Amino acid sequence: MRRGAGGLGRAYMTGPRILACGDAAISVDFGNVIDLAVNARVMALDRALAAEPVPGVVETVPTYSALLVHFDPLTTDYAALCARVLALARGDRAQLAPARRWKVPVAYGGDLGADLDDLAAYAGMTPAACVEAHIAPVYTVMMIGFMPGFSYLGGLDPGLARPRRATPRPRVPASSVSIGGAQTAVGSVEGPSGWHLVGRTPALVFDRTREPAFLFEAGDEIVFSPISTGEWHRLSVLAGDGAMIVERIA
Amino acid sequence: MSRLVVERCAPGVSVQDGGRTGWRRYGVSTAGAMDRLALAVANVLVGNGPDCAAVEVTLAGARFRVAEGPVLVAVGGPGAVLSVDGLKIPQGASARADTGQMVEISAILGGVYGYLAVAGGIALPPEMGSRSAHLRSGIGGGLLTPGDNLPVGRGALTPRAMDQIPAHTSGAIRCIPGPQEDWFAADALDLLVAADWQIDMRSDRMGRFLVGPRLAPDERSMVSDGVLPGSIQVPPAGQPIILMRDCQTTGGYPKLATVISADLDRLAQLPAGANFRLALVERADAVAAAQRLAHTIAGLVAHPSGRIDSRRLLSANLIDGMVDATADPFSV
C-alpha cells in the first residue's frame, strides 16, 4: 500500500495523517506536495498548537507539507496529543494573523550571483529578464532548514526552474540567493550547496549577536528588491554592525 | 577562575552538554553529547548536574593542562581511561588536579566517545541556551584545537566515587517503523531487522552510515520534512544513514524507521566496523526504555570518597557494569 504519495485531495478532505517518528516525535503529514495552500495549513496548525500548548511538547518544526512535533515521551499523553493535533488541524483558521512581509535587497549577477548568466542561458532569456522574473513574485517562506536560517521560498516563476548542479559546491557564501529545481532560497551561513547562485543580499538572515538572531519565520512573505553591487557593499557594512537591512512592509 | 588548556587532542573533540532545544524551527540542530548517560556519569562524579557542559573526547584521546587550579575531574564513557600526571584514576571516581598538572584521557577502550567532566562545568558562554558545539554551523563553538582555553565554573573539590557505574543495555538497537515505511518495498522492514549491519568509517556526530543490504526507497521525489536524531533515512543508493545529535533539522530522504531515544547513546558508542542488528519495538516498549534511562540518570549518586573505604571502591570497580560495545551485540 502506498500512503506516501498521499494525495493532496485526500489530505484536504480527511485531514492530516499522524506518522510516528520514534518515541519522541510525530510528523503531522498533510501530503507529499510543495503547495502554498497545503503549507498554509501546516503553518495554521503550528500557530494553533503554540496558542494552546499541549503539556510535554518541546518544540515544533513546520516544513512544506508536514509539522514535526517534538515531545518528551515521559511527560506527554500520546493519545491526547494526537487527538488535539487532529482536532486543531480541522479547526477554524479564520483568525489567523496576516503574514509578515519583508522587502529584502539583493544584488544580482556578477561576483555576487555567479550563476545568473548561466541560468539565463538555460532559461532562454537575458540576465535582466531573469532578474525581472525573480523579483516579480511575493514569495512565502515555506520552511527553514538545512542550515540555521536557510529559508526555502515558494512562488518561483517556473520559467526560472533548473535542476541542481550535478556536483554541489563545497562552500557557498553566506546570504546567497539561489535557485534549486523549482525552488528559490535565501541562504544564511556559509555552507555546501548545489543550487544556482543568482545574487546575494547584504542582510544577515542569521546573526547570533543580534536580537532577533533570525530575520524570518516560516510563514513570512518576502519580496526582493534589486540593488547595485556598490549598494550591497555599503549595506553589508551596516548589517555587520547589527542593522536588520530588511524592511517590514506588511 | 580555574582554567584548562588543550595540550593535545585528536580530531573530533568538542564541548558538549545536554543539547540545544527550541531553535529547530530555525534550522538549528540540537547537538549535545553523543552519549548522554556517559556525560551524566562523569558530571555526577564531580558533583555537577547530569547535563552540565563537559569535553567530549573521541577514540584517540586528549590531554589538558591545568592552567589555573585546583580542579576536580572525572571521566565517563565505556572503557575511558583517565589519568592525572600519568597516575590512572579508577573508573567511577573523581580526582583533584592542581595547577600545572596534566589531565589526560588516553583511550576509550569500549566505545567511541568519552567525557571529561570538571567540577563547576566548562564555563564557556552559552549560546542559544546551550554550550554544545554544533560542528557544521559553528553555533556554540567548533572542534577544540591545542592551545584552546577552557574556563571552569565554581564547584566543590571533594573527590567522589560511585558504587556502580550503570551500563548501556545490550542486544539489538531498537526502532519504531516510520514515518515513511510506505515509501519502501513491503519487505524492507523485514530486511532491516534480519540484516547484519556494520558501522561505516564515514560515521560522525551527524550520522552513522550503515553497510548492509540495499533498502532502496521508491523513486518518487520526496518533499523535505523534519528529521531528528534516530531517523533512519535511506538515500536512493539504498544504504541507510541513522541521523545522530548533530543532524540537520530537515531532510529530503524517506525514513524507514526511527531508533528509540533510549538507544541513541549505545548506538553512538559503536565504533566503525562494529556489527549490530536492529529490532522493531512497540511505542510502549520505547517509552518504558526511555523511563528506565531517565530513572538511571536521576538515580546516579557519587559519595564523597572519604565515606567509602578502599575495599568498597575496589569492589565498585570490579562490578563496574560497563559493557564493551565491541562485544557481540546479539547477546542479551
A1, A3, A61: residue with CB nearest B25: A61
* pLDDT tens, residue by residue, A197-223: 999 999 999 998 899 999 999 999 999
Residues A212, A178 within the same domain: yes
Rounded Cα distance between B275 and A68, Å, is: 31
Q: Which position has the higher pLDDT, B73 or A9?
A: B73
Q: How far apart are CA A50 and CA A69, in angstroms?
A: 11
A165 and A231: one domain?
Answer: yes
**What confidence tens digit (pLDDT) does each residue in A113-127 have?**
999 999 999 999 999
Please report the pLDDT score of residue A63 as a whole number. Answer: 97
Domain that holds residue A126: 101-248
User: CB–CB of A143/A64 below 8 Å?
Assistant: yes
- Dihedral sign from CA coordinates of A7, A11, A17, A21: positive
For the B173-286 domain, the top CATH level (class) is mainly beta
Same domain? For A72 and A116 the reply is: no
Can you tell me the distance from the alpha carbon of A187 to that of A144, in angstroms, rounded to the nearest whole number? 10
User: DSSP letters along chain A, please?
Assistant: ---TT--HHHHHHH-PEEEE-TTSEEEEE--S---HHHHHHHHHHHHHHHHSPPTTEEEEEE-SSEEEEEE-TTT--HHHHHHHHHHHHHS--TTPPPPPEEEEEEEESGGGSTTHHHHHHHHTS-HHHHHHHHHSS-EEEEEE-SSTT-EEEE---GGG-BPPPSS-EEEE-TTEEEEEBTEEEE--S-EEE-SEEEEE-SS-SB-TTSSSSBS--TT-EEEEEEE-HHHHHHHHHHHHTT---SEE--
Domain boundaries, given as residue ranges, for chain B: 3-161, 173-286
Percent of chain B scored above 90 by pLDDT? 82
Beta carbons of A61 and B250 less than 8 Å apart? yes
Residues of chain A contacting B289 with CB distance shorter than 8 Å: 23
Hey, are the CB atoms on B231 and A21 less than 8 Å from each other? yes
Q: Compute the nearest-CA separation of A128 from chain B (Å).
A: 31
C-alpha cell at B29: 540542530
| Nearest-by-Cβ selection for A74 from B218, B283, B291 | B291
Query: Does this complex have an ipTM over 0.95?
Result: no
Task: Give the nearest partner residue to B287 out of A23, A64, A188, using CB atoms.
Answer: A23
How close does chain A come to B113, measured CA to CA in Å? Answer: 24
Q: How many domains does chain A have?
A: 2
CATH of the domain at A122: 2.40.100.10
Query: Average pLDDT in the B71-77 region?
Result: 97
Contact A147 B136 (CB under 8 A): yes
pTM to 2 decimal places: 0.91
Give the pLDDT score at B169: 83
- Identify the domain boundary among A90, A123, A149: A90
pLDDT at B47 over 80: yes
pLDDT over 70 at B182, yes or no: yes
Q: Do B26 and A149 touch (CB under 8 A)?
A: yes
Contacts of A213 in chain B (CB under 8 A): 26, 128
In a domain, A95, yes or no: no
- The pLDDT assigned to A95 comes to 56
Q: Which of B218, B225, B290 sits opposite A74 (nearest CB)?
A: B290
The pLDDT assigned to A167 comes to 85
